[in-house]
Structure 1
Amino acid sequence: MTNSLRPHGYQRAPLPPAREAEPPPPTPHRDRAGHQTGPPTAPAKPEPKQRDAFFDNAKYLAIVLVAMGHAWEPLTDGSRTAEALYMTVYAFHMPAFILISGYFSRSFDMRPHRLRRLITGIAVPYLIFEIAYTFFKRWADDDPTYDFSLLDPWYLTWFLIALFVWRMTTPIWKIIRWPIPVSLAIATLASVSPDIGDDLDLQRVLQFLPFFVIGLHMKAEHFQRIRTPRTRLVALPVFAGAVAFAYWAGPRMNSAWFYRRDSVQELAAPPWTGPVMTLAMFGCSMVLVACFFAWVPRRRMWFTALGAGTLYGYLLHGFLAKGSRFWGWYDDYAWLHKPLGEIAVTLVAATVVTLLCTPPVQRLFRFAIEPKMEWAFRKDPGEQARGRSSAA
């Protein structure tokens, strides 16, 4: 009801200011008879909120699949099995990662401390690794003319710039009425828009956008509904069917569809395939993501703590993944293209990315991936005032 329907001059009475909950009084020590035997003890402080093991497990398993997919890529030309596994994994591993990123971006707003975290946790690592990858390519690929470009993400850094853009648009997706259909429409239009270009890898930013928006609007109970015995049972034949379909489609389908970095015109496909492939791949990805979440353990595992370091594994394993191509490892060692070699490559990729997620590696590279940079920001007057009032 609007104010125009109320009598002239009517104003709603302001609510009284909220009172902070007073801490409970100290609890005195008493004996069985009820007599106080010692000075009162202050109530214990509440324990810090525990990380959810399910999401750390999901992030770790997703980053392992990312590393495996990069290791399988050079094998896809000579092995139909590797190609089928590659296409299946690429259908859901980044959508799962992006959906989780959206879920943990639900609280993002434009408050200063969140903007500082956005800069230090995403923008600065993007700049550092864009420079690092540039020098690495010049050296490892013997390409001294390769130029640094702030607007053209190289290899893995596209995800950082995409996450930056997605988070900056989070307030929009919270206020519009149909966020998921709108994001799907944007992804569809992007797939038939070749003029978008390569700046900031906007094709990927827009085509992967629906998964981030879905994550923004998911709640804990949605993940609970996925993690049921029935869903886990159904997930097995679904994954088996996906691998079988990928085995059939491998020689007939361009795997570049899964990268979502090109328009249909750049893929030499008819324009009408843009909406069809966008919606079809979105549906397939969501089904496989649900099956993946159904099998993610919900209890603490030996790898649960590594889930906090997945960005380290993601950014650092790119040097080895690209270096293996630059240095011709897959060409020099023919046995890697045999079944045992493919298994060895898979195990090495999983082991390397696991090691890169460990706490020692996090401590060593925290200056580049999670810099504090308090010197670069002004002090927030509101935070200073709250700090003074709490100290008083």
Structure 2
Amino acid sequence: MSSLTSQTSPAPEPPRSAAPGKGAAGGRTAGRDHFFDNAKYLAIVLVAMGHAWEPLPDSGRLVETAYTFVYTFHMPVFIMIAGYFSRGFELRPERVWKLVTGILVPYAVFDVVFAYFHRAVGDPAVSVFPSLFAPYWLLWFLPALFFWRLSTPLWQAVRAPVAVALGVAALASMSLGIDQGMQVQRMLQFLPFYVLGLRLRPHHFDLVRGTRVRVLSVPVFALALLAAYWAVPRVSTLWFYRQYSAQELGSPAWAGPLATLILFGCAVVLGACFLAWVPNRRSWMSALGTCTLYGYLLHGFVIRTALYRGLYDEPFLSTPLGTVAVTVGGAAAVTLLCTPPVRRVLRPVVEPRLNWARQKRVGAAG
């Protein structure tokens, strides 16, 4: 699984036009739609930029505005695409095995690697025996994706699955005591985006790829930025992490479900606007979009090294030019980490096949 949202074979779809509103071949090559590769690459760039902004000292209201704006939709888009390409998932041995080797094994490996890394460059007191039930920082997404995919048959069977998933997220947002070690709160609060992705069909993406949505997205983005600017001193960005209940954020329990619905609506609208500007055709970013798992896992080492080594304490980074440098640096770093040479070197670790550990099927040759 070279991408966090790998284009696996979904359930069969009826024939449709290749480009939004057109009959041209668009960005499809041998059955692969490069629109999604481009979207995954651009989304992972936003993820890296957001992580690069987090440690900035005295970042100022404009950077906080950009941070709030990006965090409204960048992970929801990623998760929706993951759900979309999980529509054909079935609880068959070969699919479950691929899920284990493509998600759980890299998670276990990198959880240990990050522990040693943190001990070496950050805090020597950190245990070198990390708990696999307490994901390190950005690793929470891998076990979440594992459990979301395992739950796919349930969401394909239940009536009104998106509404049910929103209900689960709303209950989680007002529930104290949900295990924070395994990031269960995040799994449940982000769940509606995965389920929405399961319900989406190609024609839904064709709609957002049209010129009309692209034009409408400009004023929507402008209004969203103004709203984010207004919200910065008034609303904690911790709401966007989906990591805590309403009470833990100092709000009454009833605010949890309300925030769940508001943030869901905002993420869907801004996600559609974001996708409207994603290139449809094969481009230089298409190949990078097939290796987003590498960029996701590895960019954390770059950002945390800069943080632990005190680079974020440099006075230059408190200036507007320094903020630009951090932004460009985050985007450039994750881009390099998604390139084919990195994939070739680290593929045995990130995409292990582990055929030696797999049980032979009954009746198989040999």
Give TM-score scaled by structure 2 length: 0.89
Cα deviation, residue 377, structure 1: 0.4
Aligned position for 1:5: none
2:236 to 232, 237, 254: 254
Cα deviation, residue 241, structure 1: 1.2
1:96-115 equivalences in 2 (<5 Å): 96-115=77-96
* 8 A contact 1:77–1:83 mirrored in 2: no
Question: C-alpha distance in 2, partners of 1:308/1:276?
Answer: 36
Cα deviation, residue 211, structure 1: 0.3
- Output the amino acid matched with 2:169: A
* 1:323-350 alpha-carbon deviations (Å, 9 max, x no partner): 222122111x111121111111111111
The farther-off stretch of 309-318 and 107-116 is 107-116
* 8 A contact 2:52–2:303 mirrored in 1: yes
Question: C-alpha distance in 1, partners of 2:246/2:268?
Answer: 21
Question: C-alpha distance in 1, partners of 2:241/2:225?
Answer: 18
* 8 A contact 1:75–1:83 mirrored in 2: no
**CA separation of 1:247/1:377 partners in 2, compared to 1, >3 Å: closer, same or farther?**
same
- Output the amino acid matched with 2:143: I
Aligned position for 1:144: 125
* 8 A contact 2:148–2:191 mirrored in 1: yes
Cα deviation, residue 76, structure 1: 6.9
> Whose radius of gyration is greater, 1 or 2?
1
**Matching of residue 291 in structure 1 with residue 273 in structure 2:** yes
1:84 to 65, 69, 73: 65
Question: C-alpha distance in 2, partners of 1:76/1:215?
Answer: 36
* 1:348-369 alpha-carbon deviations (Å, 9 max, x no partner): 1111100000000001111111
Question: C-alpha distance in 2, partners of 1:381/1:299?
Answer: 44
2:260 to 273, 278, 290: 278
Aligned position for 2:33: 52
Aligned position for 2:303: 321
* 1:23-69 alpha-carbon deviations (Å, 9 max, x no partner): xxxxxxxxxxxxxxxxxxxxxxxxx9442100000000000000001
> Percent identity over the alignment?
53
1:188 to 170, 195, 200: 170
1:128 to 109, 115, 120: 109
* 1:168-212 alpha-carbon deviations (Å, 9 max, x no partner): 100000001110000000000000111112132100000000000
* 8 A contact 2:68–2:228 mirrored in 1: yes
Q: Structure 2: 5+ residue runs without aligned partners? A: 1-28
* 8 A contact 2:57–2:312 mirrored in 1: no
**CA separation of 1:224/1:306 partners in 2, compared to 1, >3 Å: closer, same or farther?**
same
Q: Structure 1: 5+ residue runs without aligned partners? A: 1-47
2:54 to 62, 73, 76: 73
2:344 to 335, 359, 363: 363
**Matching of residue 204 in structure 1 with residue 186 in structure 2:** yes
* 8 A contact 1:76–1:82 mirrored in 2: no
**Matching of residue 265 in structure 1 with residue 247 in structure 2:** yes
* 8 A contact 2:58–2:318 mirrored in 1: no
**Matching of residue 229 in structure 1 with residue 211 in structure 2:** yes
Question: C-alpha distance in 2, partners of 1:366/1:124?
Answer: 12
> How many residues are paired up?
337
Question: C-alpha distance in 2, partners of 1:110/1:308?
Answer: 24
**Matching of residue 311 in structure 1 with residue 298 in structure 2:** no
Aligned position for 2:354: 373
* 8 A contact 2:53–2:327 mirrored in 1: yes
Question: C-alpha distance in 2, partners of 1:174/1:143?
Answer: 47
Question: C-alpha distance in 2, partners of 1:260/1:202?
Answer: 10
**Matching of residue 341 in structure 1 with residue 341 in structure 2:** no
Question: C-alpha distance in 2, partners of 1:143/1:272?
Answer: 42
* 8 A contact 1:76–1:86 mirrored in 2: no
* 8 A contact 1:112–1:380 mirrored in 2: no
* 8 A contact 1:126–1:160 mirrored in 2: yes
- Output the amino acid matched with 2:353: K
**CA separation of 1:163/1:231 partners in 2, compared to 1, >3 Å: closer, same or farther?**
same
- Output the amino acid matched with 2:77: A
Tell me, what secondary structure is at the counterpart of 2:282? coil
User: What's the Cα RMSD here?
Assistant: 1.4
Cα deviation, residue 94, structure 1: 0.2
Structure 1 runs, 4 residues or longer, greater than 6 Å off: none
Tell me, what secondary structure is at the counterpart of 2:183? helix
* 8 A contact 2:55–2:312 mirrored in 1: yes
